[in-house]
Amino acid sequence: MDESNPTKVQFVYRIAPGEEWEAARAKGAYYGGKLDQQFIHLSSAKQVPGTLERFYRGRNDLSLLQIDVGKLAVEGHLEWEWAEGQQFPHFYGPSHTFAPLPLDAVVESTKLELIGTQHSLPTLPSYCISSGYIQGELRPPLLMTVILNSPIVRAKL
């Protein structure tokens, strides 16, 4: 996967507060939260730690939703739009209107554990992310490395 080329990304992610995720499962579709007025905000694997830090610091009711990009085309479309110097994935409905995220596109839901002030993240496909967040193991918060999850890189570790 090459996150510098969004068309090659297989999965995107949504950090879902407990009440939003419960409502989605009850309704059969994910309508998002207060900020999701025109589209559903999503993140690439590499963007998840920054999104957690900026919008969800200290919350202990979060789930990380892994979303199959290929399954989004049935109900709408994914657009990568610039914000803060990087491209973020946004889910739109037909004709650039708001549409809820179809639950059949969510291939995995992982409850995020809060350890101190940091969230424990699962290993995300194609990336191993460390910035104080990784599989329950705290690292110095200033350490920021993104290591491609490839046999060549892993062999050097």
Mean pLDDT per 10-residue interval, the chain, length 157 residues: 68 97 97 93 95 95 96 90 94 93 96 92 62 37 30 37
Residue 153 lies in a domain: no
CA distance 72 to 106: 9
- Report which of 25, 106, 113, 14 is spatially closest to residue 122, judged by C-alpha positions: 113
Per-residue pLDDT, 3: 56
Residue 91: domain span: 6-114
Per-residue pLDDT, 134: 38
Q: How many domains does the chain have?
A: 1
Under a CB-based contact definition with an 8 Å cutoff, are residues 43 and 92 in contact? no
Per-residue pLDDT, 141: 33
Under a CB-based contact definition with an 8 Å cutoff, are residues 89 and 44 in contact? yes
Residue 120 lies in a domain: no
Place of tokens 């037909």: 94
Alpha carbon 39 to its chain's center: 15
Per-residue pLDDT, 99: 95
DSSP secondary structure letter of residue 47: G
CA distance 91 to 97: 10
Per-residue pLDDT, 142: 27
Backbone angles phi, psi at 22, to 5 degrees: -65, -45
Per-residue pLDDT, 65: 98
- Full-model pTM: 0.77
Residue 47 belongs to domain with CATH number: 3.20.170.20
Per-residue pLDDT, 125: 65
Q: β-strand 113-115 against 106-111: which pairing, if any?
A: unpaired
| Local structure of 87: helix, strand or coil | strand
Alpha carbon 34 to its chain's center: 17
Which residues are CB-contacts of 17 (< 8 A; sequence separation ≥ 6)?
Answer: 33, 56, 59, 61, 62
